[in-house]
A and B are shown apart, each in its own frame.
Chain A
Amino acid sequence: MIFKTIVKEDLKKLFNVHLKDVECVGPKQVATSNDGKAVYQFLPFESFDEINLNHEKTEYSAKTYFLPFRETLSTFNFKNGDWDQEIKYRKQQRVLVGLHPCDINALVKLDKVFAKDLFPSPYYRSRRENTFVIGIDCDKPCTDGFCASVGADVVTHGFDLFLRDIGDKYFVKVGSDRGLNVLNKISPTDISPEERKSYRKKTKEFLAGFKNTIRVENLPNTLDIEFESPVWKKWGDKCLSCGSCAMVCPTCYCYGVSEQISMDFKKSEKVKQLYSCNLLDFAMVAGAHNFRPARETRLKYRYYHQHRGFVESFGEPKCVGCNRCGRACLANINPVDVISDLQMEL
């Protein structure tokens, strides 16, 4: 991997001058919470001053730029009792800046499902390849995340450029050829031994700062054995089946497809919409038979996919430990508590 450093001011120049004509998305403050904390979301910006790379974390993940909440898969145009099918892939360029290690690791996991596995998705690939990703390391662990427990605190790939704040400069990991091309616009310098030291020191401090942990060793096995555990009922009884957790989660990708006819009956759009396995009709089939009628079976299934199913398919959990689901949940259901509860069930 190529390492460089850039002067902080130059990053601003990169956006305000060189990337002026490209759609840029970054962490923007959208509100202030009741306890006085800034609330951030990944949103398009015009000028670099609108975003804050020191954000703790965005409430929603960046997945919406790869797996939008609603996406047209194809359009059927009707003509004289016949039809033709039209398929379009999004190919506009976009720059996404300010993704934390958890966010990038989430993208790497989505890549496994949508870009590499069986039936690679051209919808996803087109968006992914046309998005220039600039990540940034967290200065210190966020208050509620547990990325270190699930191995998502460090990134090695899945980005074009990856920054770490080392004082008056950014230490930059270059993850792609186009990353280097873009970086070269703002004359990066080779890293000095001091800069390398300061990068490693910062990283060490970051890793030492984690307080939230869950024990994931043997978790797939525990999940299997505790499939009937009363812990599921306990948490399931609190769940409102609202699906917010899956909406904000950077790796939840399940969806439903429906068709919408235009008012003039001239065409019909086949629309994919993100879904959540916590919603009541997720596994409902014709004749109103529901394979997961109980709340706890749906809640359990979500944890099962995160920490058991995905491990079976790809050898790692799907969860990156950002705790966005925990923050969004009105019932206070969060992975640290649920998993600890399950691990303790003896």
Chain B
Amino acid sequence: MNAILHAYEVTKEEDMVEPLDYNRRSRMKNFDKCFKAEITNIIRLTEMEKLFQLRMINEDDKNRFTFLPGQFVMLELPGYGEVPISISCSPSIKSIIELCIRKAGKVTEALHKAKRGAVVGIRGPFGTHFPMEKMKKNNVLLIAGGLGLAPLRAPMTYVIENRADFKDVHIFYGAKDPTQLLFDYQYEQWHRIDDINLQIIVEKPDELWTGPVGLITKLLDDIAIDPDKTYAIVCGPPVMFKFVCNRLKDMGVPMQRMFVSLERRMHCGMGKCCRCNIGSTYTCLDGPVFDYWSVMNLKEAI
């Protein structure tokens, strides 16, 4: 019998034959396909965190993969699973992607056991980004607590690379104790950059610690800012960014000029699985970067 219905081949759709590009969100694509990437270096940061340097295996993928500071990727470890991880490096360097990952559960533990040369998958980039263009010609406060330095590192490297475009730059970083400080081997380098105010504070110092002691908000005591000409990026756990942002608000910085990055459970990164919802907001599409005003207006508790 001649076919009464005709088969439809989704793979032959015009959109689908285009090369994979996650930045073109309205295009239909093989959205479960990952870019293959090789782990080229693993840098141990603390007991719990490692920095993974990845390189796309395919040259075309490498050229097509562009991101903005604040965006994240879904990192696939075949056989174990997929996890959302912020991109923790400069968007201008094409050859490597850096991800700073804490050992937290099934997938991340397996990753911590992975060796140089292992091949992982990357989908993305996904989500919103910090408005670096808008921040130019202003003072910037880059503030991180704990693992918050991982997402902060992308806008931070951006600011350092484009230092001339910004006015005063303050980088504040706080951790529980000195053993938890991430990227300590880079502080010396950041310190030496002319005209960047880098301050690191710990809550519980050890015998060797000579820096400031206390909560991160303490570092704000010593600076004078012009609230009309200041933007802030605050990355860290919710208790931390709430304290810092409220403090900045008291100093006169408008809530819409403070940016934070939120974390929720994620299984797709594309507004489909609903796992990342906060009220009716999709953390993967409308976030993870939100201005503080939007965060305060989210329906569910943060």
Contact = CB atoms under 8 A, between A and B. Distances in A.
Contact of A305 (B10, B118, B273, B277): B277
Given A85-B33, A93-B5, A256 B28 contact: no
A19 B29 CA distance: 32
Contact of A118 (B25, B34, B118): B25
Interface in B4-62: 4-11, 13, 15-16, 25-34
Contact of B271 (A22, A76, A118): A118
Contacts of A255: 267-268, 272-274
A85 B265 contact: no
B285 interface: yes
Contacts of A73: 32
A122 B29 contact: yes
* Dominant secondary structure of chain A at its interface with chain B: mixed
A178 B15 CA distance: 23
Interface stretch (A49-57, A137-145, A285-293, A319-327): A285-293
Contact of A285 (B33, B81, B264, B271): B264
Nearest to B103: A286
B28 A113 contact: no
Contacts of A178: 5-6
Contacts of B31: 119, 121-122
A81 to B, nearest CB: 8
B104 interface: yes
B104 A287 contact: yes
B82 interface: yes
Contacts of B118: 81
Contacts of B280: 304-305, 308-310, 312-313
Interface stretch (A3-11, A124-132, A191-199, A205-213): A124-132
Contact of B263 (A119, A181, A185, A285): A285
B275 interface: yes
Nearest to A254: B274
A304 B279 contact: yes
A291 B276 CA distance: 10
A224 interface: yes
Most buried by B among A277, A297, A309, A312: A309
B211 interface: no
Given A91-B10, A93-B5, A304-B299, A286 B274 contact: no
Interface in A260-300: 261, 268, 270, 275, 277, 282-287, 291-292, 297
A255 B118 CA distance: 29
B121 interface: yes
Contacts of A277: 274
Contacts of B80: 259
Interface residues of B, number: 53
B274 A305 contact: yes
Interface in A9-28: 18-22
Interface in A178-228: 178, 181-182, 185, 224, 227
B25 A76 contact: no
A283 B301 CA distance: 13
A282 B25 CA distance: 25
Contact of A284 (B4, B11, B265, B279): B265
A182 B29 contact: no
A85 B28 CA distance: 18
A301 interface: yes
Contact of B79 (A18, A76, A87, A310): A76
Contact of A122 (B6, B10, B263): B10
B237 to A, nearest CB: 10
Given A117-B271, A119-B271, A257-B273, A185 B299 contact: no
Nearest to B57: A82
A287 B105 CA distance: 7
Contacts of A301: 277, 300
A89 interface: yes
A73 B74 CA distance: 15
Most buried by A among B78, B268, B273: B78
Nearest to A283: B265
A118 B27 CA distance: 8
Contacts of B264: 283, 285, 291
A120 interface: yes
A312 B298 CA distance: 13
B78 A122 contact: no
Contact of B10 (A119, A126, A291): A126
A261 B272 contact: no
Interface in A37-88: 73-74, 76, 78, 81-83, 85, 87
Given A129-B8, A282-B265, 10 more contacts: A87-B32, A119-B271, A121-B31, A122-B31, A178-B6, A257-B81, A259-B81, A268-B79, A270-B32, A304-B280
14 contacts: A78-B78, A81-B117, A89-B11, A119-B25, A119-B29, A120-B26, A126-B10, A256-B267, A259-B78, A259-B79, A277-B274, A305-B280, A312-B280, A313-B280
| A-B pairs, 8 with minimum CB distance | A309-B280, A254-B274, A286-B104, A76-B78, A119-B270, A129-B8, A126-B10, A120-B28
